Amino acid sequence: MQRILFPFLILSAFIFCQYTVFSLQQVSAQNYNQEDEKAIKAEKERQKFLAEMKTLLDAASKSGFTEKEIREITVTRKGKVVHVWDFLEQEKLRQKKNALAKKRLKPLERYLTVMDIAEELESGETSDLDALKNKSTFIGAEEK
């Protein structure tokens, strides 16, 4: 009797462990998928908001608003006051930064030389200075 009971218990414990591990992996995979979907949804919402703000500024300029009045247009988004002009300028800077980051990550098919390293250091210094200049001259678009 014990010879039959012992292998049965071991087999059932093994199956139980496999089932719980498999179900935990499935739940964690679903969690990652939901995070990706949330990020995609947030990006779509942001793109839609950008398009609406561009349309708003175009309509304001066509209707005869002065540039000063256009710069003072504000919109409430998620309980925060957003200056439309500043928000769009900030978005342009973000896109420019992303384009530079993509351009910077170009794979090299050769070995680096001393001149390559020196040029990289010089370009890094200028990009750091440009970033500091952009950060110091532009103030955020949202009021707190």
Residue 112, helix vs strand vs coil: coil
Domain annotation covers residue 99:
yes
Tens-digit pLDDT string for the chain (144 aa): 667 767 766 767 666 656 665 555 555 556 667 778 888 888 899 899 889 889 988 888 888 888 888 888 888 888 888 888 888 898 899 889 888 887 776 666 677 788 888 888 888 777 777 787 777 765 555 443
Amino acid found at 123: S
Domain annotation covers residue 144:
no
Domain annotation covers residue 38:
yes
Distance between CA 26 and CA 20 in Å, rounded? 10
Distance between CA 10 and CA 12 in Å, rounded? 6
Domain annotation covers residue 134:
no
The number of distinct structural domains making up the chain is: 1
Domain annotation covers residue 62:
yes
Q: What's the predicted TM-score (pTM) here?
A: 0.48
